[in-house]
Protein backbone atom coordinates (compact mmCIF):
# COMPACT_ATOMS: atom_id res chain seq x y z
CA UNK A 1 0.00 0.00 0.00
CA UNK A 2 1.27 3.40 -0.95
CA UNK A 3 -0.03 6.79 0.06
CA UNK A 4 1.14 10.10 -1.32
CA UNK A 5 0.48 12.49 1.54
CA UNK A 6 0.34 16.21 0.76
CA UNK A 7 -0.03 18.92 3.39
CA UNK A 8 -2.56 21.36 1.98
CA UNK A 9 -4.15 24.67 2.83
CA UNK A 10 -7.10 23.53 0.71
CA UNK A 11 -8.05 20.68 -1.60
CA UNK A 12 -11.12 19.54 -3.48
CA UNK A 13 -12.40 16.80 -5.79
CA UNK A 14 -14.85 17.37 -8.63
CA UNK A 15 -16.59 14.87 -10.88
CA UNK A 16 -18.26 16.05 -14.10
CA UNK A 17 -17.88 19.64 -12.94
CA UNK A 18 -19.60 19.07 -9.58
CA UNK A 19 -17.58 19.34 -6.38
CA UNK A 20 -17.94 16.17 -4.31
CA UNK A 21 -15.38 16.81 -1.55
CA UNK A 22 -13.48 19.73 -0.05
CA UNK A 23 -11.15 20.35 2.86
CA UNK A 24 -9.29 23.36 4.15
CA UNK A 25 -6.05 22.90 6.11
CA UNK A 26 -5.19 19.23 6.31
CA UNK A 27 -3.98 16.31 4.23
CA UNK A 28 -4.79 15.24 0.70
CA UNK A 29 -3.86 11.57 0.46
CA UNK A 30 -3.67 9.69 -2.84
CA UNK A 31 -3.96 5.97 -2.06
CA UNK A 32 -2.49 3.19 -4.21
CA UNK A 33 -3.53 -0.33 -3.29
CA UNK A 34 -1.53 -3.46 -4.09
CA UNK A 35 -2.48 -7.17 -4.25
CA UNK A 36 -0.98 -8.03 -0.84
CA UNK A 37 -2.84 -5.30 1.04
CA UNK A 38 -5.20 -6.34 3.82
CA UNK A 39 -6.83 -5.23 7.07
CA UNK A 40 -3.45 -4.99 8.79
CA UNK A 41 -1.93 -2.74 6.13
CA UNK A 42 -5.04 -0.52 6.23
CA UNK A 43 -4.70 -0.21 10.02
CA UNK A 44 -1.01 0.70 9.78
CA UNK A 45 -1.58 3.27 7.06
CA UNK A 46 -4.51 4.91 8.81
CA UNK A 47 -2.48 5.18 12.01
CA UNK A 48 0.31 6.89 10.06
CA UNK A 49 -2.06 9.26 8.27
CA UNK A 50 -3.71 10.43 11.47
CA UNK A 51 -0.49 10.70 13.47
CA UNK A 52 2.30 11.58 11.01
CA UNK A 53 3.84 14.83 12.20
CA UNK A 54 3.92 17.19 9.22
CA UNK A 55 2.33 20.33 10.65
CA UNK A 56 4.27 23.14 12.29
CA UNK A 57 4.40 23.64 16.03
CA UNK A 58 5.02 26.96 17.78
CA UNK A 59 8.73 26.82 16.78
CA UNK A 60 7.81 26.15 13.12
CA UNK A 61 9.05 22.56 13.33
CA UNK A 62 7.09 19.66 11.85
CA UNK A 63 5.90 18.34 15.18
CA UNK A 64 2.11 18.20 14.97
CA UNK A 65 -0.16 15.61 13.40
CA UNK A 66 -3.47 15.90 11.61
CA UNK A 67 -5.29 14.98 14.82
CA UNK A 68 -3.29 17.60 16.74
CA UNK A 69 -4.45 20.40 14.45
CA UNK A 70 -7.90 18.89 13.74
CA UNK A 71 -7.42 19.37 9.99
CA UNK A 72 -9.32 17.76 7.14
CA UNK A 73 -8.44 14.39 5.60
CA UNK A 74 -9.24 13.96 1.91
CA UNK A 75 -8.73 10.37 0.67
CA UNK A 76 -8.55 9.74 -3.08
CA UNK A 77 -8.05 6.34 -4.67
CA UNK A 78 -5.11 6.50 -7.13
CA UNK A 79 -4.28 3.15 -8.74
CA UNK A 80 -1.41 4.68 -10.75
CA UNK A 81 0.64 4.96 -7.53
CA UNK A 82 0.94 1.19 -7.53
CA UNK A 83 2.27 1.11 -11.11
CA UNK A 84 5.54 -0.57 -12.00
CA UNK A 85 7.72 2.18 -13.51
CA UNK A 86 11.11 0.50 -13.22
CA UNK A 87 11.65 -0.06 -16.92
CA UNK A 88 10.48 1.21 -20.26
CA UNK A 89 8.47 4.30 -21.05
CA UNK A 90 5.01 3.01 -20.22
CA UNK A 91 3.81 2.10 -16.72
CA UNK A 92 2.67 -1.43 -15.99
CA UNK A 93 -0.25 -2.06 -13.67
CA UNK A 94 0.22 -5.72 -12.75
CA UNK A 95 1.53 -4.46 -9.38
CA UNK A 96 -1.78 -2.73 -8.58
CA UNK A 97 -4.63 -4.51 -6.81
CA UNK A 98 -7.42 -5.76 -9.07
CA UNK A 99 -10.29 -3.24 -9.29
CA UNK A 100 -12.74 -5.25 -7.14
CA UNK A 101 -10.14 -5.84 -4.42
CA UNK A 102 -8.96 -2.22 -4.51
CA UNK A 103 -12.50 -0.86 -4.33
CA UNK A 104 -13.32 -3.03 -1.30
CA UNK A 105 -10.07 -2.08 0.46
CA UNK A 106 -10.49 1.62 -0.27
CA UNK A 107 -14.08 1.54 1.02
CA UNK A 108 -12.84 -0.20 4.15
CA UNK A 109 -10.10 2.42 4.64
CA UNK A 110 -12.65 5.23 4.31
CA UNK A 111 -15.02 3.56 6.80
CA UNK A 112 -12.21 3.04 9.29
CA UNK A 113 -11.07 6.66 8.91
CA UNK A 114 -14.61 8.00 9.37
CA UNK A 115 -15.07 5.86 12.48
CA UNK A 116 -11.90 7.27 14.05
CA UNK A 117 -11.83 10.83 12.77
CA UNK A 118 -14.62 13.31 12.16
CA UNK A 119 -13.19 15.36 9.26
CA UNK A 120 -12.89 12.79 6.46
CA UNK A 121 -13.82 13.50 2.85
CA UNK A 122 -13.30 11.26 -0.17
CA UNK A 123 -13.35 11.13 -3.91
CA UNK A 124 -15.27 8.42 -5.77
CA UNK A 125 -13.54 5.14 -6.54
CA UNK A 126 -12.99 4.61 -10.26
CA UNK A 127 -14.39 7.99 -11.31
CA UNK A 128 -12.65 10.47 -13.58
CA UNK A 129 -11.88 13.02 -10.87
CA UNK A 130 -10.40 16.47 -11.04
CA UNK A 131 -8.33 17.08 -7.91
CA UNK A 132 -7.34 20.62 -7.00
CA UNK A 133 -4.99 21.47 -4.18
CA UNK A 134 -2.80 24.14 -2.70
CA UNK A 135 0.22 22.26 -1.36
CA UNK A 136 1.39 24.00 1.80
CA UNK A 137 5.17 24.20 1.93
CA UNK A 138 5.27 22.30 -0.38
CA UNK A 139 5.22 19.26 1.88
CA UNK A 140 4.77 15.86 0.25
CA UNK A 141 5.67 12.40 1.55
CA UNK A 142 5.34 8.91 0.06
CA UNK A 143 4.26 6.48 2.78
CA UNK A 144 4.43 2.72 2.30
CA UNK A 145 3.27 -0.11 4.55
- Tell me the pLDDT tens digit for each residue of 110-129: 999 999 999 999 999 999 99
Spell out the residues 6+ positions from residue 71 whose beta carbon is closer than 8 angstroms to its own. Answer: 23, 24, 25, 26, 27, 55, 119
E-strand spans in 16-128?
A: 18-23, 26-32, 55-56, 62-64, 72-77, 120-122
pTM, entire model:
0.96
- Tell me the pLDDT tens digit for each residue of 68-107: 999 999 999 999 999 999 999 999 999 999 999 999 999 9
Domain chopping of the chain, boundaries: 2-144
CB–CB of 46/37 below 8 Å? no
Count Cα atoms within 13 angstroms, Cβ side, for 44: 11
**Residues forming the active site:** 78-80
- Tell me the pLDDT tens digit for each residue of 29-59: 999 999 999 999 999 999 999 999 999 999 9
pLDDT at 27: 98
**What's the CATH code, domain 2-144?**
3.50.80.10
Beta bridge partners of 10: 134
Distances (CA, A) of 9 to 12, 24, 93, 98: 11, 5, 32, 33
Q: Is 127 exposed, middle or buried (0-12, 13-18, 19+ CB in 10 A)?
A: middle
Amino acid sequence: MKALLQRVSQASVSIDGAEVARIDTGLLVLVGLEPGDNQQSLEKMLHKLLNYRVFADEQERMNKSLTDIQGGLLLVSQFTLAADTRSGLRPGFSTAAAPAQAEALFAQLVQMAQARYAKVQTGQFGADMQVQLVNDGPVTFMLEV
